[in-house]
Amino acid sequence: MFKIGFVKLGNIATSLAIDLALDEIAERNDIEFKILSFGPKMTKTEGGAAAELKAWSPQLVVITSPNAATAGPTAARETFKGLPTIVISDGPTKKESRDALAAEGFGYIILPVDPLIGAKREFLDPAEMALFNSDALKVLAACGAVRLVQEELDKAMGAIAKGEAKLPQILATPEKCAERMDFKNPYARAKAVGALYMAQTVATIDAQACFKLKELGPIALAAAAGHEVMRAAAQLADESRELEKAGDSVSRKPHARSGELMKKTGLLDKPERA
């Protein structure tokens, strides 16, 4: 039985489904989960407290957070040095920072397409927060980012089980994400890539509201603009999937009980070994 532990510091949309994506119908008999979540908090205090997970002796640790270069995620990584650990975050995107993670022995999947929310009380309330995350998760799921993460975690677990700590080192561009969905209709693929680029742009817009603007009016307008782009991206992602559904060509890759990936395309096809 493979033991995978998750440390969730703060929130990115991917973290909402990352563990569920490894056992979508709760029938795998080869894997155990333990999840340590600190809700929206991601300070150095929470990062250090992640050490609690070590007593469970996980074979792989996955740390999800916004901006993995900040104090909380950095403290969590230090805690798990020596254990196979994969960082999943929206940053850092600069190559030298990613190379530093690799040099320290960490795997990573950086998702610039999982964007910063407009986290300013001049705009954001709990309802707006939930709506943004639902739109972001739709884009990530329909356009391939969730599958990319799931497949890479499955590969890492398989390698570790064979005694090879081979961890991913991926900057997940829109094109790399969309490739994982095996689109048959090129227009559907184009819409998916477009939706992911829109999601990536949301972070740039919301960063203005979160870190640069000082007055209520500009802050609220910038955050609202970012969230409108996220909503439009979700609509485009939905159009992409509807095109594939219309051609009965949606790529599905369920897990077998053994953990192996299966595949099917036609709705009425039987899943086969991938």
Helix pair 145-161, 126-142: axis angle to 10 deg? 70
Strands 262-263 and 272-273: antiparallel
- Give 212's contacts (C-beta < 8 A, 6+ positions apart): none
Whether residue 246 contacts residue 149, with contact meaning beta carbons closer than 8 Å, is answered with: no
Residue 274, pLDDT > 90, answer: no
**What is the CATH topology of the domain spanning 1-110+145-173?**
Rossmann fold (3.40.50)
Average pLDDT over residues 250-268: 97
- pLDDT above 90: percentage of residues in the chain: 99
Instruction: Encode pLDDT of 108-130 as tens digits.
Output: 999 999 999 999 999 999 999 99
Instruction: Encode pLDDT of 88-113 as tens digits.
Output: 999 999 999 999 999 999 999 999 99
Task: Round to whole Å and give the CA distance between 213 and 176.
Answer: 33
Instruction: Encode pLDDT of 20-49 as tens digits.
Output: 999 999 999 999 999 999 999 999 999 999
Residue 270, pLDDT > 90, answer: yes
Whether residue 50 contacts residue 42, with contact meaning beta carbons closer than 8 Å, is answered with: no
Task: Round to whole Å and give the CA distance between 227 and 32.
Answer: 36
Residue 65 pLDDT level (bands cut at 50, 70, 90): very high
Instruction: Encode pLDDT of 177-235 as tens digits.
Output: 999 999 999 999 999 999 999 999 999 999 999 999 999 999 999 999 999 999 999 99
Whether residue 178 contacts residue 144, with contact meaning beta carbons closer than 8 Å, is answered with: yes
Residue 165, pLDDT > 90, answer: no
